[in-house]
Amino acid sequence: MNYIDKINNAVHYIKSKIDIAPEIGIILGTGLGSLGEHIDNKFIINYNEIPDFPISTVIGHAGRFIFGTLESKNVMAMQGRFHFYEGYSMQDVTLPIRIMKSLGVEILIVSNACGGLNDSFHPGDIMIIKDHINLMGTNPLIGQNLDEFGPRFPDMSDAYDKNLIELCEKVSSNHGIIVKSGVYTGITGPYYFSKAELQMLIILGSDAIGMSTVPEVIVARHCGMRTLGLSCITDMAIPDTLVSISHEQVLKIAEAAKPNFIKLVKAFVAEV
């Protein structure tokens, strides 16, 4: 089965189950999935119900789409994403973005749990992504271009929509939520970087490091979607003060950051 057929089959199945046209897509990162519980009039489709669709294998990723309304806007949320380190191809990692676009989504909110490289950050902070560095060694646009979605050579100079960033900053200020902003670096994982590697990223200008988001944003940009990126800083990855971290600790800190994350996303969706 070719990739376009895989997209179309998933879209056809989803359309047979839902009666709304989502305007906003939300990818909920590790430990942040409970935002889905705030969606009203929800209809849930588990990933394993969708033909030829990947399955989330990481703890903290429920593995389902939630369709419904959030702050009176039609949304679809991913409770659980796919990662390159799980063994999926970049095309499968970003398959949900193609599906979102085909269902009518024009704005993507992508979130993640990540390590902080900026010494002014603290665990639990929310960082608005202003740009990214792709150190995954590949990207999801390699291969035949999907002309029906976008151009052969999409421009990534404005991958994170400036107007959405300004709105998010305004909303955070109005609701008393302190946010940071910075550059997110995407790596493949599934291991936490060495001290020398982290020092390299700081020299390159990175403020945070994680194992997702960048491929999804590349495809969203290719599709012409407007994107807002939010990172939850779950640990500090400063080389000189580096402390060993586990996935369970990441989940625990993401859990503590959820109230502000949920408040921010709901307020942003209400205003966008």
d(CA 72, CA 195): 46
Mean pLDDT (whole number) for 44-68: 87
Q: Which of 140, 111, 97, 110 is nearest to 10 (CA)?
A: 97
Convert the pLDDT of each residue in 153-168 to its tens digit.
Answer: 999 999 999 999 999 9
Domain harbouring 156, CATH code: 3.40.50.1580
Per-residue pLDDT at 59? 63
The pLDDT value given to residue 31: 67
- In terms of DSSP bridges, do strands 226-236 and 208-210 run parallel, antiparallel, or are they unpaired? unpaired
Mean pLDDT to the nearest integer, 56-76: 87
Cα 34 from Cα 61, distance rounded (Å): 10
The phi, psi pair for 27, rounded to 5°, reads: -105, 120
Instruction: Name the pTM for this structure.
Output: 0.94
Give the residue among 27, 22, 20 at the shortest CA–CA distance from 227: 27
Cα–Cα distance measured from residue 269 to residue 126, given in angstroms and rounded to the nearest whole number: 17
Query: Is pLDDT larger for residue 71 or for residue 234?
Result: 71
Domain extent at residue 125: 3-271
3 state DSSP class of 180: strand
Q: What is the pLDDT of residues 100-154, one digit of tens each?
A: 999 999 999 999 999 999 999 998 899 999 999 999 999 999 999 999 999 999 9
The total number of structural domains in the chain stands at 1
Runs of H (alpha helix) within the chain: 3-15, 90-93, 95-103, 162-174, 195-204, 214-222, 247-271
The tens digit of pLDDT for each residue in 69-113 reads 999 999 999 998 999 999 999 999 999 999 999 999 999 999 999
Q: Quick: pLDDT tens for 25-47.
A: 999 987 677 888 899 999 999 99
